Structure 1
Amino acid sequence: MLVTTPHQDHSATDLPRTGPATEPAAELALLRGDFEVHLTVGAEAADALAAWAEEHGVKFVHILLARGSAASQPMLTLRASGSYTEVLAETRRTARRLAADGFTVLRAKVESVPWAEGVPASDADAARFGAARYFEHHVKLLVPEGAATDGLAELAVRHAAHLSRNARRVRPDGVREQFVTQRCRLVGSETAAARLDALLADLTAAGHQVASAEREFVALDSDETLDAGWIDEVAAVAKVAAVSTAA
């Protein structure tokens, strides 16, 4: 759950502003259901944030991207239900609480389940949300410890995806959990699901062991530049378009 504080002003200054405006657009105001919220801080604050999370009874996650300008991303992961507007307000209050305790929140992400009320189903619906909102998929693979991931990374890139792992997750059986994260922008849930299916098919065909796959609709990503150099969506989409044209 989100960490609540007494009612305060809900100005957007509580969240990073380098990304899109955080005020709910007309389409976002209709979004309602179950949400997951991520509040990311700098890599140097990882241990302090982990301690804060334990003290407040919330989940701490430390994600390590396979590449990019900010590969180490410690964050709080919180769950909430209701309307997007309500969840955004609670996200701001939690970010304000972190700031009061000395943390600088670099990024806020508010993600709904793909079947939430108001999530765009068709590509035409998605166009009204704009490119700042997108579907994101997380595929968990079980990889033998020490196995090379070069081929896996190349496969992921073809699907507008790339690799990451949880720095704190260690399995006793010597198997590593590797995540493949895919982004689908300016498309509805139906197209996004088809792209995930294509990714899963290629992963399976390449012999990778898929443990799970999770779909989300990102209603707010306040600073996508934190992932600069990680997922190359432009190149992947161009390849898909070229194949479609040739067919």
Structure 2
Amino acid sequence: MLIALGFAAVAAVAVGLATTVVVRLQHIEAENAERELQAYKADSEAKISAAEAVGHAAQADIAKAHAQIAEANARQKEAELKLEQIRSKIGPRIIDKDKLVGLLKGKLTSAAAIMYSANVPDGFATGQQLVNALREAGWKAFVMGAIPPNSPFLNDAPNLYETDANGAVIGTGSGLVLISPEGEMYSPESGPRFETAYESLSMAIAQSMGSTGGRTDPSVQKGLIYILIFARL
């Protein structure tokens, strides 16, 4: 009986030890699993952070590329605009005849003597266009030819003109300068002021071709307006 009880006690102790060992092993296994899980999570987070960093860098590169493309497009448009401006300045002038005639119709008329700078390629052609338009508007107009090098129109009022790097005289805007014995507005002793032929022509050319230079010169024959053609600015 005692022997049986002894075996039972030993068996109970063995079972207890076995249970303790199993629990301990399970605890160790759980700790190892936890460490592996944490290591996996840390590795995954690191990889995610690295991927996000690469993504941010890629987005920054894309944004930079877009900015560079936009800047290049802006430079190209600016270059095209400057090229068009150069072409408009060096190319032959095409006068909108209908517009110019329409602006002069019904206004005071005069006679126009047209001269052009000898170094302006389209001087004569521009003069002929002006003659045709002015005659249609009721003016008397003719082309006198190139301005002589010693002409007072080039020397007596240099502030009216600008010169390029080569010293060539250039006009303003349209490239035209008007010289007339009368001013912009005529003010009689009595009655309202009225627009002169000089002012009408100056305004019509400005609206159809671009701004003009001009001055009055009492020595010019009354009833005559000189139209001088220079290079355009």
Shorter-chain TM-score tier: under 0.3
**TM (normalized to structure 2)?**
0.23
Higher helix share: 2
